[in-house]
A and B are shown apart, each in its own frame.
Chain A
Amino acid sequence: MPDDTIPSWEDVARLHGRTIYNFAYRLTGNADEAHDLVQEVLLRVRKGLQAYTPGSFEGWLWRITRNAFLDEVRRRKRRPTVPLPDGDHDGTGSTPAPEEVLAAVRLSEDVQAALLALPYEFREAVVLCDVVGLSYEDIAAAADVPIGTVRSRIHRGRRMLKELLE
């Protein structure tokens, strides 16, 4: 998206809705929270677009997303938590899948569990880099930290993941 155009709200929803959902899902491991976050972020984007001045759109969008996410986490802390689903997600049982499919599912569940075990700052940096696909510069803008901090968090986050998944 060129930096001199202001996208419409519908563009943001269409182009970034799924990414925002995946960001929240990977940070929480919870579809319910991811669902609420997407709606909250899009509401804030809709309000915020009026005041948006062309610049780094990604940095702007992900700063809003991150703040909405942290607010949502704080709000939910006052409510009973939903345990992270383990194995069979819908609880209805499933037909056996080929070995390699099962192995891939197990790995992705292990990776998700390992992500959740990281301290928040590291998890966020890794998810923004490797799930959302932001540049270090945009991550720095979103998280409001120097780029050296982003580099360090991503590196240490990956190192921790490697150790957790060994």
Chain B
Amino acid sequence: MSHWGDRLGAYLDGEVDEQTRTLIAEHLTGCGVCRSELADISWARSVVRDLPIIELPPGIVPGVFASRRRRRRAFRPAWAWAASAVTAAALTLGLVIAPGQADSTFELGSLVDRHVARVVLDPGISAIRGPVSGP
């Protein structure tokens, strides 16, 4: 064999047997072509290995218990809880700021409800909008 070619990558990855490893190591001491090739692919290997690990967006795993349509039902308790909490907050706010204007307060409440419901229902929103690179 004149040069080791793609065995050099396997050599780097510990994917050659002991005998081949010894042969390659010996060959490298006297072959600039293989040394240069090894340096190149070793660099490429390390830049990929050094890519930051991206954390799983929160909520991604529970959502998989049901199909995408049924997932909405599975999230309903959380949605109902969040929505009623916001409604209560909005109503309290409304009562404090503008007592007697129950109608407008109600509208504000349901508007916020819908927004909160959407965010709670789709945990992927933060993943899509948030930074996609790791730290």
Contacts and interface: CB of A to CB of B under 8 A. Distances in A.
A75 to B, nearest CB: 13
A137 to B, nearest CB: 9
Contacts of A135: 15
B56 A162 contact: no
Nearest to A21: B56
Interface residues of B, number: 39
Contact of B43 (A32, A109, A162): A162
Interface string A137-148: 000000000000
Interface residues of A, number: 47
A21 B51 contact: no
Interface of A: 13-14, 17-18, 21-22, 25-26, 29-32, 34-36, 38-39, 42-43, 46, 85, 89-90, 105, 107-109, 111-112, 115, 126-127, 129-131, 135-136, 151-152, 154-156, 158-159, 161-162, 165
11 contacts: A31-B128, A32-B127, A43-B67, A89-B130, A89-B131, A89-B133, A130-B45, A136-B10, A152-B6, A161-B44, A162-B44
